[in-house]
Structures are given as structure tokens and as C-alpha cells.
Chains A and B, each alone.
Chain A
């Protein structure tokens, strides 16, 4: 089924300013692994915020999992995001005052659906530990403070958090940029493997073209977004 469908979406930050986003059509099917190439200033941050339901376009429709999320109230969009979307950021992905395990379980406190999914096999904590295990973070790491992890470990914890409770859509915003070049491939394999295993759709945004070949479909923001793009220096 179509996971994401955007039609005629236009967005500008301030009235009177030129459009940041102007997308005629954008569709993502369930189970796809989409690589979205976008340089800074291409409007990708704005697009991610709209897909996650944080921002509303000034015109057009945003459909996600068959629901028109631009018609929902603020509170309903937040709930939707909690239930169906997992996000991974470029860096500083973890809440510093929670342990590794608490970070992974964070979405379960905001979504009953994900909490129930995670707890289906016993307890949510057990599911979390399993995820961490699959990502190569086994053992006592669960109780460790996040500030004591390496960047690579932090990113993998972020993946676990994005995946817990089986959200249908995973959005990753440049998650490998902060990693060493030789670790990037390894990380990507882990991420893709887990998404496959759980049946989630992955939308991967990055400006690193060398990773393109891991993905079934590639798209560039300049193709997608008709609005004039800022030149990044």
C-alpha cells in the first residue's frame, strides 16, 4: 500500500517570502527503501517536518498510511507521529538524562500502540534488549549512561529507538554523517536489515551519494522540489 502520498504541497516559512517547498507529487510504497538526496538548503528539513506531521503545508494534501494528516488537529498529528513514525537524526540523538534502555523505550511512553507491540513478546524492555542485541549492542549497555557511548554506538541506539514497537515508517535524516567513513556501510547494513525484518518503510535522507547503491530507489530533492533552492556555501 502507499505509505506516503503528497500532492500539490506548497510551503513557505513566512508570508511574503518565496516558497521553500513546492512538490507536485511524491509517493512512497510500503516496504520501499528510498534514498532521498538533498543538499543543505534544498528544503529536505522542511519536507521531513511535514512528513512527520510537525508542520502543515499552506496548500496541498499530505497522506500517510492512507490518512489525510493535513486535516488532523495538532494533537492528533502528534499522536499519529508517535504511533507510526520512527526518526533518526544526524547526531545528538539521545536524551542525555535517560539511560540507553530508557532512550530506546521512549516512544512506548508516548504511544500505546507501540508499547503494546513491543510488549507482545513478554515485556517492552525485553524487546528493547533484543533490538539492541541485533544491532550489536549486547549485554550491560542497557544501563549505561548515553554520554559514555561512542558516536557509532549512539547512532545504533537511535535505530533501536526508532524501530521499537514496529512503526510503519522510519525517517532517517543523515544518520551516517557523523560516523567514520569505514563504519558507514556497516551501520547502513544493520539499519536496512532491521527495517526489512520488521517490514517498515525507510526514507533515508542524505547528501552522501556513495551510499546510493544500498537502496532500491533513489530520488533527489532538486527533482522533487520545484521551489528555488538556496545555494549552500
Chain B
């Protein structure tokens, strides 16, 4: 019946309009722990920001797996205290991860997943940028030198936890204002934040 066909058409038209949050369906289906592909660092980009990968945020001499050097796990008995101790030492290094001080003031462009911190209406004014999908929800969170605390110049609209973005701006070191003193992590004032695509 023609009338029924028209009724169905109307319903589709109206209900399809209803959800503006479904813009977040543009969020691709990432697997837990998946990282975003970035072009090789150092590739010249049209803007003045340097393409940066997350590895570059880690000082070269930092290796949390050093605790396991010389430890042949195959030779240890079950529940050997040395294995547990090595794991604990690794975890400690993970949580006190140092920053790459040379990056203070660097203008970089980096891709990651967002975790909203401050929301005003449907705008996100502050967020954390992490390297892999599912951080803090399903898998252990990244160490401090793999998290950037971002304040964008313009708030993000219609974005959700674990949406992927390219973030460009000036990287700064954040300093603790109480003991233990020293740089505790990265902050960024982002000039440009755009949804992630493979470029």
C-alpha cells in the first residue's frame, strides 16, 4: 500500500535526524591496545608542527624492562621472589617515568585517544591524550611520559572518551609544586585538534 510505504519513509526521515551524538559512530572500531598509525617522524608537514610519535616522548636511556635483564624466566621456579621483585621494580619505574626534557617548548603534532577531564555543556575543555585505545578502561594505563594533558584553544564539540584525534600545539613540561620536585609529565596548549585520519 502506497500509504504504508510513505509512513515508513517518514519515520525513517524523522528518527534518523534525532541523534546528533551518532556523529561519534565515526569513531572507528579500535581494538583494545591498538595504536594509531602515524607517518615516520621527521616527515615534513605543511604546517610548522613536527610529526611526533609517542616513542619520542620517552628518554632513550629509560627502559623499565631493565629489571628483567639477566633474568631467565624459564630457569626460575614458580612464584620465585626474584620474578615478583622484578615485576614490582618494573611497575615502580612505570609509575615514575621521566620526561624528555629537550621537548620543552617543542611544537609537535601527535595522534592519540582522548580522555575528557573538563566538560561544559557538550564541549570538552580539557582532556588527556593517550597512545592506545582502551587506556584506563580495559588495559593498564600508560606511564606518565606517555600521557599528555591537553588544553585546546577551542573546546572540542561532540567528542567522547576514546575518540581519536590529531593534536598540534606547543608541548611543555609540567612541574610538580610539592615534593618530589621535578618534571612530572607533559602538558600542551593545543592550537589545532582534528579528528584522526591516516594523514
Q: Touch between A and B in complex, CB under 8 Å?
A: no
Interface residues of A (CB under 8 A from B): none
